[in-house]
Amino acid sequence: MHLHILGICGTFMGGIALLARELGHRVTGADANVYPPMSTQLAAAGIELMEGYAADQLDSAPDVIVVGNALRRGIPAVESMLNRGLRYCSGPQWLRENLLQNRWVLAVAGTHGKTTTASMLAWVLEDAGLNPGFLIGGVPMNFGVSARLGATPFFVVEADEYDTAFFDKRSKFVHYAPRTLILNNLEFDHADIFDDLAQIQRQFHHLVRTVPSSGLIVHSSADAALDAVLKMGCWTECAQFGAGGEWTAELLAADGSQFNVLINGAIVGTVQWNHTGLHNVNNALAVLAAARHVGVPVAVSIAALARFRGVKRRMELCGEINGVRVFDDFAHHPTAIATTLHGLREHVGNQRIVAVLEPRSNTMRLGVHNAELAAALTNANRVFVFAPENLDWNADAVFAALGERVTILPTIADIVANIAAETRSGDQILVMSNGGFGGIHQQLLTALAHISA
C-alpha cells in the first residue's frame, strides 16, 4: 500500500510514517518545511520527502492520504485531494485502524509531562523484557527513535488533546482506545482551539469513556480538574498517585533524585536516578502503577527507572563550557516552567540559574498565561525573554514584577551576547521553548567557548 503523509515532519506524523514503513508500506510525504532531524530520520527509512504542498504531488494517486492537523482548507494538496475524491484519513485514525486494533494500548494524557512519562513507561516495559511498540512526541534517549512497532501486544502512545484534523475536531486521543490510561494533570492550554477549561474537560471525558471496565485509569490524586472529569462518569478501576493516593513518594533528596516508593503507606522500594523535580517523581509513580497493570513487578520497574536516560529536549544537557551548563527544555506553560525551575533549584542549590524564555506556543502568544509568567520564573536569578517585534503583548509589563532580574530583548543575537557577557562559572542556563529557538543553544555554547578560549 502507498501512503502519502501531509505534514510528515512533525514528531507525531513522522512517527506514523516510520511505523507504516516498518509495516512494509511504501511511504511518501510532504511538509511546508523539510529539515533535520526528522527529515534525515525519515530519509534513512527510505521515505521520499517533498517540500511544500503542491497539488501535483498527488498525481501518483496514493492508496491513502494521511492528513496532519496542521493542514487546512485552501492548501493546494488538500483541495486536490478533495476534488479528486481520493481516500484520506487522519494520523490518529490510521494508527487506530492499522496498528492499535487488538493491542494492549497504554496511553499517557495530561497537560504536562506526557512525553517524559510515555518515554519512561516504554522504557520500563522494555527493560522488563516486554518489547513494546510506542509512538511518542519526542525522542526517548534509551531508544533513539520516536516510534517503533514492537514485538508484543503492548503499545505505549502519547495521547494528545490537540484536535485531530481539519475534518475531525475531536482530540487525537479519542482514537486510541487505551486499556491502561495515565492522566497526569489537567490545566487550560491550547487557547487557539479551546475556549475554556470546560471544553478540554469534555474531551478528556470522551477519552475516559473509551477505557474498558477491565482496564485501569492512573491519575493524580490532587487535581481538581481531573476529579471533575471523572465525576462526569467513570466505568473503570482507578489508581491514584500523589499525596492522599495509593501510590506516594517519600523524598530522600530534596531535588527528587532519590525517593522511597510507597503503596498504601508501605515502602516497596527506592528510586535513585539522574532526574529532578517533583513532577518527575509523580511521573515515575504513575509509570509504576501502569506497568504493574500489565504485569511488571514493582521492584523490576524501580530498577528500570534507575536506567532511564530521559528525553531529548526535556532538561537535556546541551553542553558545558568552563563550568557553565546549557540545558534545553520544552517548557511552554507557567506550571511546566515553574516545576522545571524548582527541580533545577533544588538540584543546584545556590548556583545561579539563568532562564531564557521564548513565548512561542499558540497559547503563550495569545497572552493567555501572562498573569502567571513572572511568578513562574521566580526561581531564576536572571531571566532573558525573547520578545520579537511581532509579539502581540507588552513583555515589559508582563515581566515587570521580576524587576532588575529580567532583560527583554528583540533578537536571539542580543540574548546570546548579553548572557555571554555576564555568565560566570557555575551558572546553569535553562533555555525554554517548544520550538527550535533559532538554534540559540549552540550559539550560547559557541559564544561561551569563544570567551574561555
Domains, in order of start, for the chain: 2-91 (3.40.50.720), 102-305 (3.40.1190.10), 316-452 (3.90.190.20)
pLDDT of 94:
97
Let me know if 312 is exposed, middle or buried by CB neighbors in 10 A (0-12, 13-18, 19+).
middle
Q: Using the predicted structure, report yes or no on whether residue 434 has a pLDDT greater than 90.
A: no
pLDDT at 362 over 80: no
pLDDT per residue as tens digits for the range 277-314: 888 999 999 999 999 999 999 999 999 999 999 887 77
How far apart, in whole angstroms, are the C-alpha atoms of residue 439 and residue 160? Answer: 26
Note whether 436 and 410 are within 8 A (CB). Answer: no
Could you tell me which residues come within 8 angstroms of residue 94 by beta carbon, excluding any fewer than 6 positions away?
Answer: 3, 16, 20, 64, 66
Across the range 337-358, mean pLDDT stands at 90
At residue 123, the pLDDT reads 98
Residue type, 366: L
Q: How far apart are CA 246 and CA 68, in angstroms?
A: 39
Residue range 170-177: mean pLDDT, rounded: 96
Residue 335 in this model has a pLDDT that exceeds 90: no
Entry pTM: 0.86
- Scanning 23-75, the segments in alpha helix (DSSP H) are 38-44
Tell me the mean pLDDT in the region 373-390. Answer: 90
Confidence band (pLDDT; 50, 70, 90) for 124? very high
Q: Which of residues 318 and 133 earns the better pLDDT score?
A: 133
Q: What is the mean pLDDT of the chain?
A: 92
Among 126-130, 391-395, 428-432, which is the least confidently predicted range?
391-395
Three cell numbers written together for 11: 514528531
Q: What is the pLDDT of residue 199?
A: 94
3-state secondary structure of 29: strand
Of 85, 154, 74, 168, which Cα lies nearest the Cα of 118?
154
Residue 453 has pLDDT above 70, yes or no: no
What would the mean pLDDT of 309-338 be, rounded to a whole number?
A: 85
Question: Sorting pLDDT into bands at 50, 70 and 90, what band is 332?
Answer: confident
Cell of 198: 470546560
The per-residue pLDDT for range 237-278, each reduced to its tens digit, is: 999 999 889 999 999 999 899 999 999 999 999 999 999 888
pLDDT tier, 452 (very low <50, low <70, confident <90, very high otherwise): low
Position 276: which residue type?
T
Give per-residue pLDDT as tens, 181-240: 999 989 887 777 788 899 999 999 999 999 999 999 999 998 999 999 999 999 999 999
Cα 175 to Cα 164: distance, rounded to the nearest angstrom? 9
Segment 38-57 shows an average pLDDT of: 90
Strands (E), 371-443: 382-386, 406-409, 428-432
Q: Does residue 101 surpass a pLDDT of 70?
A: yes
**Among 377, 321, 318, 320, residue whose Cα is nearest residue 353:** 377
Give 19's pLDDT tier (boundaries 50, 70, 90): very high
Average pLDDT over residues 416-435: 90
Mean pLDDT of 387-413: 89
Q: Between the CA of residue 43 and those of 8, 143, 312, what are the distances in Å? A: 12, 18, 20
Average pLDDT value for residue range 131-151: 92
Highest mean pLDDT among 285-294, 328-337, 387-396: 285-294
Pairwise CA distance, residues 278 & 281, whole Å: 5
How much is the pLDDT for 137? 87
How many angstroms separate the CA atoms of 227 and 225, rounded? 5
